[in-house]
Structure 1
Amino acid sequence: MGSAPIAKDNPLGAYLRDRRERLDPAAFGLPMTRRRTPGLRREEVAQRAHVSPTWYTWLEQGRGGAPSEVVLERIATALLLTDVEREHLFQLAFGRAPEVRAPEAVGITPRLQRVLDALTLSPAIVKTTLWDVVGWNRAATAVLTDYSALPPEKRNIVKLFFSNPRVRAAQDDWESVARFVVAAFRADSARVADTAKVEALVREVSALSPEFETFWREHDVQAFGEGVKRLRHPVAGLIAFEYSAFSVDQRPDLGIVVYQPATRDDEDSVRRLLDLQELGAT
């Protein structure tokens, strides 16, 4: 396979070639002799990606049809792309990011935990695209749920919302919030590549709650975004929050939700709950 020039209007091909030429053949156990160009040969990448060498050559040269998502995933794997490089590859090929690959719910980095901890009066959580809670701060424990007291498989917002009586009782308008939760979860879950995990969670929560099953069948979608949330805490009473959702850079499977007390009185309510928490009274 020759080193044919790549058209200037073919950024996908240019990027593939650049990534290919950065790879060390020796790391793959390939012979280093008789190589006129750096990196892997096109046919070697094609073999690793289980595609035709001719088709892969055409892809780099901007000829032929566009790749499918499945094939592009195999090429990304063959080229050992990082998550950021994989996302860039999909942006070049399709003009959008790839579907999110949802890992198992694991902890967050110490740096991200420090960000949460700095929000002393604002309950904040980190959730996955499957809405597993993998990070939280003291205010979230005092106001929302003591996630540390739950086993990891129970730290799921959808499960808690539809199966935990305390979480349900805390909602100022349960049905309205429940419909929002289902619609926002549906929008997030559509980004998860492993649809089997989504289906398993939907089956589990449907078995726990006929209401969830009904709302899920309505197929509504909604962005989490930002808004106002009112909670009826069993100790502090009604507390209002302005909430905002943020993505975590380089972790498309994670999002942060921050609940900012809406007024001074609401701040005081959170502060009292934190004081009680310190005393072990909540």
Structure 2
Amino acid sequence: MNTLHLPEDIKRRAFGDFLRSRRERLQPSDVGLSNGFRRRAKGLRREEVALLAGVGATWYTWLEQGREVRASVEVLSALADALRLDAAERRHLFVLNDRPPPESRKTGPEVVPDTLLRMLASLAGQPAHILGRRWDVLAWNRAAEIVFGDYARLDGDARNIMHLVFADPDHRRLLLDWEELATTALASFRADSARYAGDQDFERLIATLMRASPEFRAWWPKHEVARPFSGYKRIRHPLGGEMRFEYTMLSVIGEPDMKVAIYTPLEDSIAKLEQLLAVR
């Protein structure tokens, strides 16, 4: 008679098989242990992994056997470290346990991969820009410069979407539905910034906006959060007049703190954008 396996059973077995496969590919010397004599085990022993991860050998054996035991986030992180897992393997380890992988806080300069820069340049008929972890504008294409202005003229905090929306009078005049866009952007920014609570760069930007914008000062304490990935934007361009765009925010695989914002012109805005792009 066939035994029906529940999805949880299948995941536990897959998790155990994954642990074993990662254990068997490592040699003791890879983790600072002695190879010893007459070593028959392929790769590390279970007891050695348990020692490195700071868990009991019997309990670790149960994990490899797919038994009904559940590892905490801290234990999964310790196992990932002990088994020398890379980023993709670490994420897989957490997914098999229905646990969200811990998100690390990155610091330092952000570098846009060349592949993204080439993609950005290829979007000739769609304004697009790449945002960093703090919503700084890291890169943009010519269409974005034509429609929204030259980001190169801005330095530091000024080249930031939240600063543009709340503290740049020229950009604010560009947006026909400013209040709707501003509240949506603020709620989405707060959701993204939660992981960086206390970060000096974030705190400096927020303090600047609190001083510069009465709306930001009134809305920020409300703690509204949202994660919109698409919507519509109407602008009043000084040369093209009223233009309408549908925008989409895309996450970047391998660069979790980067987003690509793409604006697709609607209806008669297509011809207006083409005319603007035709002027050198």
Question: TM exceeds 0.5?
Answer: yes
| Counterpart contact for 1:13–1:59, Cα < 8 Å | yes
- 1:147 is displaced (CA, Å) by 2.8
- 1:33 correspondence with 2:63: no
| Counterpart contact for 1:100–1:252, Cα < 8 Å | no
Instruction: Give the AA of the match of 2:269.
Output: D
Question: Which structure: larger Rg?
Answer: 2
Query: Between Structure 1 and Structure 2, how many residues are aligned?
Result: 267
| Counterpart contact for 2:157–2:163, Cα < 8 Å | no
Secondary structure in structure 1 of the residue aligned to 2:97? helix
What TM-score comes out, normalization by structure 2 length?
0.80
| Counterpart contact for 1:183–1:222, Cα < 8 Å | yes
Cα distance in 1, alignment partners of residues 107 and 25 from structure 2 = 28
Deviations for 1:16-75, whole angstroms, at most 9, x for unmatched residues? Answer: 2222222343333432234332333444444544x2344544444455853333443343
Deviations for 1:86-118, whole angstroms, at most 9, x for unmatched residues? Answer: 222221122545536445452222122111111
Shift in CA distance, 29/247, structure 1 to aligned 2, threshold 3 Å: same
Aligned with residue 186 of structure 2, among 182, 185, 195: 182
Aligned with residue 16 of structure 2, among 13, 17, 29: 13
| Counterpart contact for 2:134–2:202, Cα < 8 Å | no
Aligned with residue 126 of structure 1, among 126, 130, 133: 130
Determine what percentage of the aligned residue pairs are the same residue: 41
Aligned to 1:196: 198
Structure 2 residues without counterparts, runs of 5 or longer: 1-8
Secondary structure in structure 2 of the residue aligned to 1:93? coil
- 1:1-282 alignment to 2 at 5 Å? 9-34=12-37, 35-49=39-53, 51-54=54-57, 55-62=59-66, 66-96=70-100, 98-99=102-103, 101-102=105-106, 104-151=108-155, 154-190=158-194, 192=195, 194-197=196-199, 200=203, 201-263=205-267, 265-276=268-279, 278=280
Deviations for 1:158-183, whole angstroms, at most 9, x for unmatched residues? Answer: 23222222221211121111100011
Instruction: Give the AA of the match of 1:247.
Output: S
Instruction: Compare 96-105 and 163-172 and name the one that shifted more.
Output: 96-105
Shift in CA distance, 203/149, structure 1 to aligned 2, threshold 3 Å: same
Structure 1 residues without counterparts, runs of 5 or longer: 1-6
- C-alpha RMSD of the superposition: 2.9
Cα distance in 1, alignment partners of residues 18 and 110 from structure 2 = 32
Instruction: Give the AA of the match of 1:99.
Output: E
Cα distance in 2, alignment partners of residues 187 and 237 from structure 1 = 33
| Counterpart contact for 2:232–2:245, Cα < 8 Å | yes
Aligned to 1:4: none
What TM-score comes out, normalization by structure 1 length?
0.79
Deviations for 1:121-141, whole angstroms, at most 9, x for unmatched residues? Answer: 211112234323323211112
Cα distance in 1, alignment partners of residues 25 and 278 from structure 2 = 56
